[in-house]
Amino acid sequence: MLPQARIASRKVTSAVYALDIAGDITSFAEGALMAAYTQAAEAGARTFILNFAGLDYMNSSGIGLLVTLLIRANRQQHRLLAVELKDHYCHIFELTRLNEAIRVFADEAAALAEINTL
């Protein structure tokens, strides 16, 4: 069976959408991730909170997928934030420097507090 990812977009405010990620982020998650991103962008999202609370596994292909998403978001002047990352994946974000491009917050409330200060 192929690795499975379930990614749903959820409106938080008119310009902020959460992408709730569950399962495995690998190359096989590309369709689900890009579809959720596109759906939220077309609904008016400018800031995307990647909620990793349901993440089971992420490999290097999944990291590459996040970089692809980041490139796409940068081109459209969208912002990506990450929340609910387990310690191990926070460490990987630091090693890859993804945390410099996708700011990491403990939870959605903390991310929203940051958004509201801008």
Q: Which of 15, 34, 41, 92 binds other proteins (CB under 8 A)?
A: 92
Q: How many residues does the chain have?
A: 118
Q: Please identify, using beta-carbon distances, which residue of 10 and 56 lies nearer to other proteins.
A: 56
Q: Are 81 and 48 in contact (CB under 8 A)?
A: yes
Among 17, 18, 20, 24, binds other proteins (CB under 8 A): 24
99 burial level (CB within 10 Å; 0-12, 13-18, 19+): middle
x-or-dash pattern for other proteins, window 39-78, by CB under 8 A? ------------------x-xxx-xxx-xx-xx--x----
- By CB under 8 A, residue 30 contacts other proteins: no
Which of these, 17, 95, 83, 15, lies nearest to 55 by C-alpha position? Answer: 83
From 39, 46, 99, select the one nearest 74 (Cα to Cα).
46
Interface contacts to other proteins, rule CB under 8 A: 1-3, 24, 26, 28, 57, 59-61, 63-65, 67-68, 70-71, 74, 87-88, 91-92, 95-98, 100-101
